[in-house]
Amino acid sequence: MAFKITEKVTWVGKIDWGLRKFHGNEYSAYKGSSYNSYLIRDEKTVLIDTVWLPFAKEFVDELKKEIDLKEIDYIIINHGEIDHSGALPELMRYIPDTPIYCTANAVKSIKGHYHQDWNFVTVKTGDVLDIGESKLTFIEARMLHWPDTMFTYMSGDNILFSNDGFGQHLAADPLYNDAVDQAELFYECMKYYANILTPFSNFVTKKIEEVLSFNLPLDMICPSHGVIWRKDPTQIVNKYMEWADGYQENQITIIYDTMWNGTRRMAEYIGEGIREADKDVTIKLFNAAETDKNNLLVEVFKSKAILVGSPTINKGITFSIMGILEMIRGLSFKNKKGAAFGTYGWSGESPKLIEEELSRAGFEIIIDPLKELWYPDEDALLRCKEFGRNFVEKIK
């Protein structure tokens, strides 16, 4: 159901309460999400973004109840990914000649997805679309998180339509930042940043600094997923600046997989050693095979250091540990330290392989890996404690 944000702007998107997986199966979305589309009525009428492809027909049918589609003068697509542009093929069946404003890179991605040559109007940073009392200013935001992304700023109402920036996967009603549980909201914001935007942190910082340099008044941030920031909208901007700056908390995370509980026992005793050496640090242990990978990456994002352990299997490491290490490498975390450990029966390659993967991911390796034969006995567990103590002392 559509609802008014301001006198000129109406939300016409879709709240997806049932969403649990996103980007295929790459992102967990246990709190649902929303696909935010916005209709601006001034002297000219503008539609900003659409919804995800599965809801395309529903979106167009609901939009018809809100406005005669032929009254839409312009369409703005801030980002060509299908969760934003997915209703374009259905919509353009009714208004095929309506201009679509987007970046040159977005033309490529939209054509790549839909293979249609619609009436594209390419824009770049600083270009302005005059729609009457208000003006829409376009700001390219390359790699936040695709090369085609841009923001659109609306004067008068002082709204930044930020697309994927400042969003989160959270279904809510009312869809406003001050109307939801704040702990839940900011966890989902951090999860979104950690899993999607971390590799582009340098771009985040530069883009925010560029937008701030324009000295534009800001009353509201309207992203494409999750809540609309109407109360103190700059709070999420400040969080992004903090998260983009090699973010870490006083936390050490131990990630492991285990076959016959030997590596689990190593992880627990390493944690005990860390606690003996540092009473203040937060320690968290996770079995990678049993933990949601995206939630686990949030913990890596928060940590100043991680330890990763696996038994050796077929001269390698377990599927879950290799998978999380690959995701860690792809996210290009900064300013983090690490070490490896594991059990083995006869060949014992896993700790060294983990260390190599952590190094490839940019982690500073601060202690040689630890491996123990079969199920650790009391002497081995004492070595694990000592390993934990040495690890945290080297961090200090």
Residues belonging to the active site: 23, 79, 81, 83, 145, 164, 192, 225
**Sequence-separated (6 or more) residues with CB below 8 Å from residue 239:** 186, 189, 190, 193
> Which of 23, 48, 43 has the alpha carbon at shortest distance from 33?
23
DSSP secondary structure letter of residue 196: I
Q: Could you tell me the two tokens for 155?
A: 């004067």
Phi, psi of 355 (to 5 degrees): -55, -45
What is the maximum span of the chain, computed from C-alpha positions, in angstroms? 79
> Which of 320, 299, 293 has the alpha carbon at shortest distance from 309?
320
Name the β-bridge partners of 272.
Answer: none
Distance of alpha carbon 176 from the chain centroid: 19
Round to whole Å and give the CA distance between 188 and 193: 9
Whole-angstrom Cα Rg for the chain: 24
